[in-house]
Amino acid sequence: MHEKCGVVGISTAGRDVARPLYYSLYALQHRGQESAGIVTHDGFQQYEHVEMGLVGDAFDEDDLDSLNGSNGIGHVRYPTSGSVNNCCAQPFSVSFKSGSLGLAHNGNLINTDELREELAALGHAFTSDGDTEVIAHDLARNLLEEDLVRAVKRTMSRIHGSYSLTITHDETVLGVRDPQGNRPLCIGELEDGYVLASESAAIDTLDGELVRDVKPGELVVLHDDGSGFDTYQLVETEQTAHCFFEHVYFARPDSVIDDELVYEVRRDLGRALWEESGIETDVVMPVPDSGRSFASGYADAAPEGVEFAEGLMKNRYVGRTFIMPTQDERERAVRLKLNPIKSTVEGKTVTVIDDSIVRGTTSSQLVELLYEAGAEEVHVRIGAPPIVAPCYMGIDMASREELIAADRSVEEIREEIQADSLSYLSIEAIAESLHKSETDLCLGCVTGEYPYDIEGEQTDRDVQRPVVGHSSADD
Ligand code: AMP
């Protein structure tokens, strides 16, 4: 189950959190459009509302009014290719002997099956095949024996993979980031409380201040009265595995993730793209919206004669092309979504810039469109390295067979999309623009070597799965 999602958690000094949670989910809508949900607690009881669809459709006034309490969490979920699945909408909420729990998860565990089998043998009943429910059951079980912090620590020693979690345990809101910090999570300060969110743009929406990123392996417990938070470094790691694709494609440009403003990173990547493979054409244009910051950095670095122009208009009411399950529908969606502005293109040599090529649908359609609009030459520049392998850590990236770069050289891809030239960015440029070493990044989709021990795949480091059933909080 690939959970590519947005999570949030808020505690205030007595103000109902339903509306601030709702606004922050709006700010994180790009991280998931399949379902949206909120769980709150008022000190006596847990309330929940989870529904399929966009945030704006999932809640009405009455729903928000019914979510009582000044502590709560929220979630937006990304659709997994093809299937719309009601069972996995989040937050997952449940009442156990150890209290009520709500869980919102962004990421993907890779030892879910082992854990589920073990817990099922102990009598736990599961209602979905998702990994979030497994985390909830494991945590609930540990809470029967230990205090909150030790229970979370024990659960962290048993789950393997990527996770940024926001959790309610009765009225206490907590946030956890996996030991490699694969998916983002940050802390913000509000006028009357604190917030945990996948991206800082959600904090801005609430007029809050970004405090800092949650550290890899860290637990953050918000005070129930909104007065502050406590932190516990529950797992120490020497190496992180931050997902570079958050900065390249997934996150909002106005978010700061792991100390880097996404917009600036994309501009730097655009500059690096010019330095590595710049070509002087009459115009440089982005594929809106994802290519925009790259193209502006690229055009900045290019000589004066290269004009930055908007040559493609986007119909913003068409959803992300990935939602379309068949190739035919995906091609149609690109046509619906993008239309060339003839006067910027006609009779010109054109460089078109996008953040990434996955299946190759967008770029081949685009090149065709630009030629039809009268372009003389079409050069394609991509702000990421070729995506050669699938993502197991939470980005819905298509299977290996669908990836155009999985078994083709750059020249073969160029031929396939029929561009005059095609260049990708190097892995070195990615690490440099993120100010991180390559060994602290998850580069699985561009190297085929993962920072996790995934069955049937290569790993780029010395990793070990936790041995399920034998771990303790003191390990
Ligand atoms: P494709 O058309 O399959 O080559 O996909 C590339 C286009 O989809 C680019 O314009 C990207 O901005 C966008 N994209 C890249 N990764 C994803 C993803 N995981 N989900 C949805 N869209 C993506």
Q: What's the pLDDT tens digit per position in 322-371?
A: 555 677 777 777 888 899 999 999 999 999 999 999 999 999 999 999 99
Residue 72 belongs to a domain: yes
- Identify the residue whose C-alpha is closest to ligand 1 atom 9: 356
For the record, the structure tokens of 8 come out as: 């949030």
Residue 360 belongs to a domain: yes
* 147 burial via Cβ count (<10 Å: 0-12, 13-18, 19+): exposed
Residue 443 belongs to a domain: no
Lowest mean pLDDT among 40-44, 61-65, 110-114: 110-114
Type of residue found at 433:
S
pLDDT (tens digit per residue) in 61-75: 999 999 999 999 999
Please tell me the distance between residue 250's alpha carbon and the centre of ligand 1 in angstroms.
Answer: 9
For the record, the structure tokens of 308 come out as: 């930055």
187, 211, 241: which is the final residue of a domain?
Answer: 241
Which CATH number does the domain housing residue 276 bear? 3.40.50.2020
Cα distances from 71 to residues 43, 46, 230, in angstroms, run 9, 10, 16
Sign of CA dihedral 238, 244, 245, 246: positive
Residue 129: pLDDT band by 50, 70, 90 thresholds? confident
pLDDT (tens digit per residue) in 286-317: 999 889 999 999 999 999 989 999 999 988 88
Q: Across all residues in the chain, what is the average pLDDT?
A: 92
By the 8 A CB rule, do 262 and 254 touch? yes
By the 8 A CB rule, do 165 and 220 touch? no
pLDDT for the residue numbered 398:
80
Ligand 1 atom nearest to 359, measured from its CA: 3
Residue 194 belongs to a domain: yes
Q: What is the pTM of this model?
A: 0.94
Type of residue found at 416:
E
pLDDT (tens digit per residue) in 439-453: 999 999 999 999 998
Q: Is the domain of 206 the same as that of 111?
A: yes
Residues whose CB is less than 8 angstroms from the CB of residue 41 and which lie 6 or more positions away in sequence, other chains included: 47, 69, 71, 72, 100, 102, 168, 170, 171
pLDDT (tens digit per residue) in 1-33: 445 799 999 999 999 999 999 999 999 999 998
Task: Report how many domains make up the chain.
Answer: 2
Which CATH number does the domain housing residue 234 bear? 3.60.20.10
Identify the three-state secondary structure at position 11.
strand
Q: Is the domain of 279 the same as that of 406?
A: yes
Chain centroid, CA 284 distance in Å: 28
Q: Is the domain of 267 the same as that of 237?
A: no
What's the rounded mean pLDDT across residues 207-213? 98
pLDDT (tens digit per residue) in 162-176: 999 999 999 999 999
By the 8 A CB rule, do 40 and 224 touch? no
Rounded to whole angstroms, the Cα distance separating 112 from 100 reads 22
Identify the three-state secondary structure at position 2.
coil
pLDDT for the residue numbered 475:
44
Q: Is the domain of 330 the same as that of 289?
A: yes
Residue 201: pLDDT band by 50, 70, 90 thresholds? very high
pLDDT for the residue numbered 467:
59
- Strand pairing category for 218-222 and 172-177: antiparallel
Residue 399 belongs to a domain: yes
Residues whose CB is less than 8 angstroms from the CB of residue 299 and which lie 6 or more positions away in sequence, other chains included: 270, 284, 306, 307, 308
What's the rounded mean pLDDT across residues 150-161? 97
Is the pLDDT at 153 greater than 50? The verdict is: yes
Rounded to whole angstroms, the Cα distance separating 237 from 404 reads 35
Q: Is the domain of 204 the same as that of 322?
A: no
Is the pLDDT at 473 greater than 70? The verdict is: no
- Kindly state the percentage of the chain with pLDDT values over 70: 93
Type of residue found at 418:
Q
Residue 246 belongs to a domain: no
Q: Give the residue from 19, 43, 71 showing the smallest Cα distance to 226.
A: 71
Q: Is the domain of 237 the same as that of 268?
A: no
Please tell me the distance between residue 355's alpha carbon and the centre of ligand 1 in angstroms.
Answer: 8
Q: What secondary structure does DSSP assign to 53-90, as a single string? A: S-HHHH--HHHHHH--SSEEEEEEEPPPSS---GGG-S
Q: Is the domain of 77 the same as that of 116?
A: yes
Residue 474 belongs to a domain: no
User: Does residue 359 line the site of ligand 1, with CB under 6 A?
Assistant: yes
pLDDT for the residue numbered 284:
97
pLDDT for the residue numbered 451:
93
Please tell me the distance between residue 387's alpha carbon and the centre of ligand 1 in angstroms.
Answer: 11
User: Does residue 320 line the site of ligand 1, with CB under 6 A?
Assistant: yes
Lowest mean pLDDT among 3-7, 95-99, 381-385: 3-7
Active site residues: 5
What's the rounded mean pLDDT across residues 462-467? 69
pLDDT for the residue numbered 472:
41
By the 8 A CB rule, do 387 and 358 touch? yes
Q: Is the domain of 50 the same as that of 165?
A: yes
Residue 319: pLDDT band by 50, 70, 90 thresholds? low
pLDDT for the residue numbered 395:
81
Q: Is the domain of 227 the same as that of 279?
A: no
Cis-peptide, bond into residue 407, ω within 30° of zero: no
Q: Is the domain of 298 the same as that of 406?
A: yes
Residue 86: pLDDT band by 50, 70, 90 thresholds? low
pLDDT (tens digit per residue) in 408-462: 999 999 999 999 999 999 999 999 999 999 999 999 999 999 999 888 999 988 8
Q: Is the domain of 340 the same as that of 393?
A: yes
User: Does residue 395 line the site of ligand 1, with CB under 6 A?
Assistant: yes
Most informative mutation of 106, 321, 354 for ligand 1 (most atoms within 8 A of CB): 321
* Domain coverage including residue 173: 6-241
The angle subtended at Cα 84 by Cα 83 and Cα 85, nearest 5°, is 105
Q: Is the domain of 363 the same as that of 302?
A: yes
Helix pair angle (131-145, 148-158), 10° resolution = 140
Is the pLDDT at 83 greater than 60? The verdict is: no
Rounded to whole angstroms, the Cα distance separating 419 from 371 reads 10
Rounded to whole angstroms, the Cα distance separating 350 from 371 reads 10
Residue 224 belongs to a domain: yes
Please tell me the distance between residue 473's alpha carbon and the centre of ligand 1 in angstroms.
Answer: 41
Q: What secondary structure does DSSP assign to 236-294, as a single string? A: --S---EEHHIIIIIS-TT-EETTEEHHHHHHHHHHHHHHHH----SEEEE-TTTTHHH
